Structure 1
């Protein structure tokens, strides 16, 4: 197994001179060198062959002991000098100061076929940024991140990738629900893959400390290496911010499209590349509910609820704008970029919703049609994924006159069909009346519309209960469900009739089960 190590970050930016690993405030540096913890008995549970190919490794490499050793942290490959990054962040709207990679270690940057990737081990041990924690991760959260990273990629959502899931053989103490009842769980390490792991908080920490020279150095490095459309020799920080804003907007639109809720959109969990990062207490909408969050920590205020994700993205971008403002002579252009986001996002969101319901071109009344649908969907518990996938089967000549029969094509989406009666039923009848009238104005055939809708409305997503089932089996030594779900989610828009059992509403047993409804940040 041969990795083409091509580290730039550690050669371009200043390091923390202290290699002791002692917890501390790290100043005047972008990172600290660290050594991954050697696990007692690393065992490969799953690896993504296409991610391996992306970094120049073969399927044979995945079977080798060296692969397991390297990507569990047991050995450091020749030429690598692992490090943890220094950054800060706003957590739940409050400035938290220095945070940093407390349980993540960048193993190395590697090049393959002209593309550079950063390999990061999550759960590989303590760093100067671990504060009071142990720097480890458990199988439960690691499996969820591994599967979700790959599921998001195949859904077409910008994301970090996951190369491997490796059990460490060590027990890790965690209080899953923060209720004073910690238990030992099996430990694991995930290898994340991304262009870099530079975050909004990477800039915030430097600005907060007045380290402006280093702030400029980091911004210039980021532009020069990751924003090829910008001039590296004459960095334009406004255009850099505009590009970050556009990438972030595209990511959030896709989150809303597939019903993904991140759960903890702190600024330290926002990538400068506009990719989904830090999969913790995430979830997909079961019932279509703009107020839902999977995060127990956010239960009271629901800051990071599904419907608020666009506003939080804007708020986070405002914190990034503030951080880089010392680099510009006039802050008004930064404000203009934020205003552009605020003005453009609703348009992009409407375009996305119009595509989900199969509208072929804009007409007067289309936006109201989309808005009305979102209102009706929330009158009773209605499964988002099933509803939008089934909606493609609605004919333009749907008979709307009798009873509830017109709802038969989407009936599987209702958790309690008995509630679809009276005023709720008539609201649905009114919406479908407008919708089918609009479809009759289309120039497309129904097969053409079905193909377009099925390309943006996934049939399969990683529902929390599915991930929990895989966790339960894996904890007992059965890895079959990891393999099955990984294969299922590699083609989420295809019918896959032999796997129809996964195209179903959340079962009743999962409604209140830990890991299936609300989750904590504990990993």
Structure 2
């Protein structure tokens, strides 16, 4: 029983051992000074029920089916039983929200219940929705089934898409009811309470550094930075100004790489505040996210982001840079030199241009560089917006295009258009002209059509977690049917494969979902 007690992890507790903690042990809302965390016990779940477990992640942790089906696992992932040799805690951090400094934020509905090592990997297990912490502000620290299903499925979907992300180990009901105003319109309703157990090497965010720096607590800023480098960037060496510069540069690179991945698959995070930016470059905090269905630069899934659309699809890389500026400001007291920081920040735009162009080439099956590619890609961007065109279907269908048959190009992608009747003569002409150019460009490549198709299909997913699909799973689960959760979990483990049994999910968003709450737009309500 002993190994299961700690989910097969060798408990290490480096975060609470090496960083300053809150001396106050009472759990009440407050400003927490000179501390990286507060010890806090999860709220007990009244009638916990395990709905789903990520087999991929549980296998990685060495958990057997017997381990999972035992009552101890359920008690651990719903906060009813602690991991041995570990004290649960909530992290203290601040952040810029929608461009404004918001002060102390912290883990308002997340509690870290353990940190350990398995093999050469470090894991932190966190419960989201496990009750109040000193950082809950006006919240109750709980989460609802609706948002928990979205986080659980999306975390695992992103991992299998090859995108850096936090993971989700389990999804459980608590047996409690939680009051939420989903539309912020003054009509709250009770919803089913739930908990997602999240896993990552660390949940440290840009905001952890910002809070210390904003408060002028440079001693603890240094302790946090040294800790982060020691455990997650050890190849950078011992603490020094040179190391801090190298650290910032690598955080910049990881952040940019993740955002490029988002753009590749059409993922829009929805809430890119600095407290939602992982210091490891992971996708973190799945709230009002969405996948681009209609190709639209200005689309944002977040109702709170209207009308400014700060976090729209086309602006994600700019927001990433803005957030890196805030991190640079936070780290400046340790570096005390502007020039190296400015050089790193200035390199972001050129790095984005280079990597973004390379990514777009890969989506079109182009391996060689050609001076006309920028024009080809720019013209594609324009024709994609002439009428409502589904991004995922377009790129997947495009892989079947024959470079020797440009006149058949439009037929190849016809299923990607939402309203085919809008394809007037002028739009058709523009598409046909683009396909002629694309055909000529493909002839400069060495790969045959079939080889190109394979490479394109390994870049452009066939299956993504569209909001309407998540909402169908939510609607069914709220009636006690968890079949769609499992079906989507299985399908999204292999998003680049054909999977004929799931073909019905390779389809445009249905009309009924165009304006439905939870499908077209979402709030931050959890």
Q: Say whether residues 1:218 and 2:224 are aligned partners.
A: yes
Matched with 1:378 is 385
Q: Residue 2 of structure 1 contacts residue 57 of structure 1 at CA under 8 Å; is this kept in 2?
A: no
Deviation (angstroms), 1:233: 5.0
- Cα pair distance change 1:56/1:80, threshold 3 Å: farther
The corresponding residue for 1:14 is 20
Which of 490, 493, 513 lines up with 2:493 in the alignment? 490
Relative to 1, partners in 2 of residues 1:90 and 1:233: Cα closer, same or farther, differing over 3 Å? closer
Maintained 8 Å contact 1:55/1:117: no
**Other-structure match for 1:183:** 189
TM-score, normalisation: structure 2: 0.97
Matches within 5 A, 1:62-461: 62-232=68-238, 234=240, 236-400=243-407, 406-461=409-464
Runs of at least 4 residues off by over 4 Å: none
Q: How many residues align?
A: 519
Q: Secondary structure at the match of 2:5?
A: coil
Q: 1:58 aligns with which of 60, 64, 86?
A: 64
Q: CA–CA distance in 2 between the matches of 1:423 and 1:336?
A: 46
Question: Could you list the runs of 5+ residues in structure 2 that have no partner in the other structure?
Answer: none
- Confirm or deny: 8 A CA contact 1:37 1:73 kept in the other structure: yes
In 2, are the aligned partners of 1:55 and 1:110 still within 8 Å (CA)?
no
| Partner-residue secondary structure (3-state), 2:450 | helix
Whether contact under 8 Å (2:5, 2:72) holds in the other structure is: no
Q: For each residue in 1:444-493, what CA deviation from the matched residue of structure 2 results, as whole angstroms up to 9, or x when unmatched? A: 11111001100000000000000000001111011111000000000000
Per-residue CA distance 1:166-187 (angstroms, 9 max, x = gap): 1001000000010111000000
| Superposition map of 1:21-60 within 5 A | 21-60=27-66
Q: 2: distance between equivalents of 1:103 and 1:437?
A: 54
Paired residues of 1:49 and 1:58 also in contact (CA < 8 A): no
1:338 partner SS: helix
Q: Is the 8 A contact 1:388 1:457 kept in 2?
A: yes
Q: Report how far residue 56 of structure 1 moved.
A: 3.4
TM-score, scaled relative to structure 1: 0.98
2-structure distance, mates of 1:406, 1:385 = 17
Report if the CA contact (8 A) 1:296-1:519 is conserved.
yes
Contact kept, 8 Å, 1:468 with 1:515, in 2: the verdict is yes
Partners of 1:323 and 1:473 in 2: CA distance: 45
User: What's the offset of the Cα at 1:354?
Assistant: 0.5
Moved more, 268-277 or 414-423: 414-423
Of 256-265 and 55-64, more deviation after overlay is shown by 55-64
Query: Aligned equivalents of 2:337 and 2:306: distance in 1?
Result: 39
